[in-house]
C-alpha cells in the first residue's frame, strides 16, 4: 500500500469515528485531516510533475518568467514537510534545507533563521475585550431627531374630604422633556493595497467584526460617560441626576458592608430598586465586593452560590455588570472624584437610532489603501434620572 492509499484509508477511519467523537477528539481530527489532505495534495502534485517530464530531461523553466512569480504559484511553507521542519527548528534549533528565506518576503533582514510558515502567519491574533453588555440592556428608540420626548413628572395626591368638600383638581402635564439630536459614530479601517495583494484574505472576513466591536465599545463608553457634545450624554455626567443620589466612598468605606448599606443602598428609591443593576470594573468587584462579609461573617458577593453557566456576580441580591476599565475605572486606579460604580436601571436609558449602519469602501490612491468606513447616526440620554445612584472615590481621610 502506497502513501496515497494509506492517507485515504486513514481518512475513512476518521469519518467512521466522527459519530462517537467528543469535542477534544474532533479538534484533533480536524488538525489531522488538514495535514493528511495537504500531504496528499503535495504527493499528487509531485506525481503529476514527474509524469509530465520525459526521462533524462531537465525540469522545464520558462526563461521569461519571474522567479518570484514562479515561487508564488506554490507556497512551500504551507506543505506538511515544511511545517514539521519548522516545528522541529522551533523546538530544538535543528535546521532543515526546507527552511529558507523567500525573495520579496516581509522579513528584510538577511540573518533570518527561518521563515515562519504562512499557515501560522494567516492566523490573526486579536486582543479580546468585553463590550456590549451595557448597550444590550438600554432601550432602543427609532424616532425622528429633534423631536421633544415629554417626561411626566406629576405625582397625583389623594386627599381626605368632608361631606361637602371636594379635592383640588390636579392638572396632568409634562414639564420636562428630552430631545434627541443627530450624532455620527464613524469607524474607518485602512488596508494597504500592497498588503492585500499578498495573502491577507483573512482580514476581509474580520473587518466587519472589527468595526462592529469598535462601534459597540464606543456606545458602551458613551452610555456611561459620554460628554453630550457631539455624542450621547452619559449617565454619570448628566446634570439632571439629583445631588442626593451622588455618593463618595473612601477606600476603607468601600470595603465595608455597613458603609455600602448606609451610603448607597439606603439612597436607592423604592420605586427604582426592582430591575436595577450595579455597573463597575472587575477590579472594584473582585477587590472590594467579592469576599466582603457582613457582621455575622456571611459572604455578600455570593459568587459561589447559584452557579449555572459560570459565576454570577451579585451584590446584596442585585446584578453586578462588569465592564472594561475604560468604561468605569477600578477603584485602585481611579483618581479622587472619579466614578467607580453606578446603580441604575439601564432600560431607563434610551439610544435613539435606526441602528442601520452604512458601510462604504473606496480606494485612497494617495496612500494606496483600501478604506472601509462604517457610520451610525445615534444619540442617547437617560429618560428618568431619579433612580440613578453615582458612587465616586472619596479622598483618603
What is the tens place of the pLDDT at every residue in 174-229? 556 777 777 888 877 776 655 554 444 555 556 667 777 888 888 899 999 999 88
Say if residue 248's pLDDT is above 60. yes
Residue 140: per-residue pLDDT: 86
The continuous run of DSSP H or E covering 260 comes out as helix 257-263
Q: Treating both helix axes as pointing N-terminal to C-terminal, what angle do 23-52 and 3-17 enclose, rounded to 10 degrees? A: 160
Strand 339-344: give its sheet, edge to edge.
Answer: 246-249, 389-393, 339-344, 277-281, 318-323, 314-315
The residue ranking higher by pLDDT, 291 or 389, is 389
The residue ranking higher by pLDDT, 334 or 6, is 334
Query: If we measure between CA atoms, which residue out of 394, 355, 344 comes closest to residue 238?
Result: 344
Inter-residue contact 311 to 264 (CB < 8 Å): no
Gap between the Cα atoms of 390 and 247, Å rounded: 6
- Measured distance between the N- and C-terminal CA atoms of the chain, rounded to whole angstroms: 83
Contacts of 333 (CB under 8 A, 6+ apart): 283, 325
3-state secondary structure of 144: coil
Residue 194: per-residue pLDDT: 52
Inter-residue contact 220 to 327 (CB < 8 Å): yes
Q: What b-and-e string marks burial along 287-297, b requiring 16 or more CB atoms within 10 Å of the CB?
A: bbbbebeeeee
Q: Name the grid cell of 182.
A: 443627530
Gap between the Cα atoms of 302 and 312, Å rounded: 8
Residue 220: per-residue pLDDT: 92
Q: Comparing 105-114, 205-214, 280-289, which segment has the lowest mean pLDDT?
A: 105-114
Gap between the Cα atoms of 248 and 99, Å rounded: 62
- pLDDT average, residue stretch 68-83: 59
Gap between the Cα atoms of 357 and 299, Å rounded: 45
Say if residue 334's pLDDT is above 70. yes
Residue 116: per-residue pLDDT: 52
- The whole-chain average pLDDT of the chain stands at 75
Gap between the Cα atoms of 34 and 38, Å rounded: 6
Gap between the Cα atoms of 134 and 233, Å rounded: 14
Cell 455597573 sits on residue: 279
Say if residue 397's pLDDT is above 70. no
The residue ranking higher by pLDDT, 336 or 32, is 336
Above pLDDT 70, what percent of the chain? 64
Using pLDDT thresholds of 50, 70 and 90, give the confidence band for residue 308: low
Residue 109: per-residue pLDDT: 39
Amino acid at each position: 500500500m502506497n502513501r496515497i492509499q494509506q492517507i485515504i484509508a486513514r481518512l475513512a477511519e476518521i469519518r467512521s469515528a466522527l459519530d462517537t467523537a467528543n469535542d477534544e477528539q474532533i479538534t484533533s481530527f480536524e488538525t489531522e485531516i488538514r495535514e493528511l489532505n495537504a500531504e496528499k495534495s503535495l504527493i499528487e502534485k509531485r506525481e503529476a510533475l514527474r509524469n509530465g517530464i520525459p526521462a533524462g530531461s531537465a525540469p522545464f523553466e520558462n526563461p521569461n518568467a519571474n522567479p518570484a512569480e514562479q515561487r508564488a504559484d506554490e507556497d512551500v511553507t504551507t506543505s506538511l514537510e515544511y511545517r514539521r521542519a519548522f516545528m522541529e527548528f522551533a523546538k530544538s534549533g535543528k535546521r532543515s534545507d526546507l527552511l529558507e528565506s523567500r525573495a520579496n518576503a516581509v522579513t528584510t533582514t538577511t540573518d533570518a533563521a527561518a521563515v515562519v510558515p504562512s499557515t501560522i502567519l494567516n492566523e490573526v491574533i486579536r486582543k479580546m475585550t468585553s463590550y456590549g453588555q451595557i448597550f444590550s440592556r438600554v432601550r432602543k428608540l427609532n424616532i425622528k431627531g429633534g423631536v421633544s420626548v415629554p417626561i411626566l413628572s406629576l405625582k397625583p395626591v389623594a386627599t381626605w374630604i368632608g361631606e361637602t368638600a371636594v379635592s383640588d383638581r390636579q392638572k396632568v402635564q409634562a414639564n420636562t422633556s428630552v430631545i434627541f439630536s443627530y450624532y455620527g459614530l464613524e469607524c474607518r479601517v485602512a488596508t494597504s493595497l500592497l498588503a492585500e495583494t499578498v495573502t491577507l484574505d483573512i482580514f476581509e472576513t474580520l473587518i466587519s467584526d472589527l468595526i462592529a466591536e469598535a462601534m459597540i465599545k464606543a456606545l458602551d463608553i458613551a452610555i456611561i460617560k459620554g460628554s453630550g457634545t457631539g455624542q450621547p450624554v452619559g449617565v454619570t455626567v448628566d446634570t439632571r441626576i439629583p445631588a442626593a443620589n451622588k455618593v463618595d466612598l473612601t477606600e476603607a468605606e468601600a470595603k465595608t458592608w455597613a458603609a455600602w448599606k448606609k451610603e448607597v443602598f439606603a439612597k436607592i428609591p423604592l420605586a427604582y430598586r426592582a430591575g436595577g443593576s450595579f455597573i463597575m470594573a472587575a477590579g472594584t468587584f473582585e477587590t472590594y465586593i467579592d469576599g466582603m462579609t457582613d457582621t455575622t461573617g456571611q459572604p455578600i458577593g455570593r459568587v459561589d452560590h447559584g452557579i449555572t453557566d459560570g459565576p454570577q456576580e451579585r451584590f446584596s441580591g442585585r446584578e453586578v455588570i462588569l465592564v472594561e476599565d475604560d468604561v468605569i475605572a477600578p477603584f485602585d486606579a481611579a483618581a479622587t472624584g472619579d466614578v467607580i460604580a453606578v446603580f441604575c436601571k439601564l432600560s431607563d436609558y434610551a439610544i435613539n437610532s435606526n441602528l442601520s449602519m452604512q458601510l462604504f469602501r473606496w480606494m485612497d490612491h494617495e496612500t494606496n489603501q483600501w478604506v472601509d468606513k462604517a457610520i451610525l447616526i445615534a444619540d442617547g440620554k437617560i429618560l428618568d434620572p431619579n433612580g440613578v445612584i453615582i458612587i465616586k472615590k472619596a479622598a483618603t481621610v
